[in-house]
Structure 1
Amino acid sequence: GYEAVLPLIEDLVLEDARKSPLARARLRGIRRKREMLDAEGGTVGTIEAAQILGGISKQAVDKRRKRGTILAMPKGGGEYAFPLWQFAENTRDGLLPGLARVLRSFSVENPWMQAEFMLAPNARLGGKKPLNALRDGEVGASALAASAYGVHGAE
């Protein structure tokens, strides 16, 4: 999978990075993706996500991903990494309360950028990570911050 290949790619890019600023930037991107995959408990694949969501089908998980109501980062080969931090017990949809609203609020469709937003401190939330703001019940503020994320001239 993607996680297994990242260290190999990183090693190859590291050799180029000594020579090229562009390669150094690529290396930073690879490292950041690995950090996001490992953050807050890591990720699971589609089958595990389906089990966490109460034993729903893989197709139902894929439908949620396509609708944008669950976050999944592409790993290649049609496989996806679902961050564990988005799941919650004792909720109607099996997800962190308010997450679907935040995901629908994004103006950016790139799941890596959406994950970056959720895990990075945000000035619109008083320096709090949107993930933590959601955990604290700040759904409206988190959705508003998500709607501004990636918009030219906004934070």
Structure 2
Amino acid sequence: MKAPSSHETAFRDAASADPLREAFLRRSMDTITRIAAHADLKILSEALAASTGFGALARVLADAATAEASLVDLDPLAPLVARNAEHRVQILEAAGGTLSSTEVAQQLGVSRQAIEKRRRANTLLAVRMGGDWRYPRCQFDEAKGTVVAGLPKLLDVFAKAGPWVAMDFLLAPDDALGGETPMQRLRREGLTPELERLARIEQGDGFA
């Protein structure tokens, strides 16, 4: 008899731990099976190029052809939600991943409470993931053990828009910066009037 794979074992362990987890796993697996049966092989191949399993799933869910074949009748909003999820995965990859509050505290040489205080004050960029706060790695100068100079003031421009909008701005190449991202320019030159102006224009609070 073939021994169960690690994925099968993990599935059984998770399912047996809690009825709610079992229900979620079975419902999710049914949907994934349906997608795999209908999706074009090219779409599946492109999805497998993602660096994570979550990214692969988001890509195939976001594809319109796949959605038309197997998802729209189940949930018309699924492709839109998946495209948003895929975009967030791409942003986090561009950010170099994330750090926990404990890792950030060690990086900056302060307490976790100090990190939480700075997050609430919007002087550190943090996103909610899995019930916890994660801190995009790109905002730190790890060699110096500091936050990239000028970032806290720039984050203030995006206080109402939220961290995902701020990261989208910081990590997207901009023609006005010669194809550099605002984060690249911020790391090299600090917060220049040009960068602050671009951020305010992005938020509709400035003039071209």
TM-score by length of 1: 0.78
Cα RMSD after superposing both structures: 3.1
**TM-fit CA distance, 1:69:** 0.7
Give 1 or 2 for the bigger CA radius of gyration. 2
Q: What amino acid maps onto 1:28 in structure 2?
A: R
SS of 1:82's equivalent?
strand
* Equivalence for 1:10: 58
**TM-fit CA distance, 1:7:** 5.2
* Equivalence for 1:63: 117
Is the 1:107–1:146 contact (alpha carbons within 8 Å) kept by the matching residues of 2?
no
* Equivalence for 2:164: 112
* Equivalence for 1:81: 134
* Equivalence for 1:37: 92
SS of 1:139's equivalent?
coil
Q: Does 1:143 align with 2:196?
A: yes
Q: Does 1:50 align with 2:105?
A: yes
SS of 1:30's equivalent?
helix
Counterpart CA distance in 1 for 2:178 and 2:60 is 39
Counterpart CA distance in 2 for 1:59 and 1:11 is 37
- Matching of residues 91-130 of structure 1 within 5 Å: 94-106=146-158, 108-130=160-182
**TM-fit CA distance, 1:83:** 1.1
SS of 1:102's equivalent?
helix
Q: Does 1:25 align with 2:80?
A: yes
Is the 1:74–1:81 contact (alpha carbons within 8 Å) kept by the matching residues of 2?
yes
Paired residues in the alignment total 148
Counterpart CA distance in 2 for 1:65 and 1:107 is 11
Once the two structures are superposed, what CA deviation does each residue of 1:10-56 show, in whole Å capped at 9, x if it has no partner? 389469951347432222211111112222421111111111111x1
1:11–1:148: structure 2 CA closer, same or farther, 3 Å change rule?
closer
Q: What amino acid maps onto 1:33 in structure 2?
A: R
Counterpart CA distance in 1 for 2:63 and 2:149 is 44
1:153–1:18: structure 2 CA closer, same or farther, 3 Å change rule?
farther
Is the 1:36–1:115 contact (alpha carbons within 8 Å) kept by the matching residues of 2?
yes
Counterpart CA distance in 2 for 1:11 and 1:125 is 30
TM-score by length of 2: 0.60
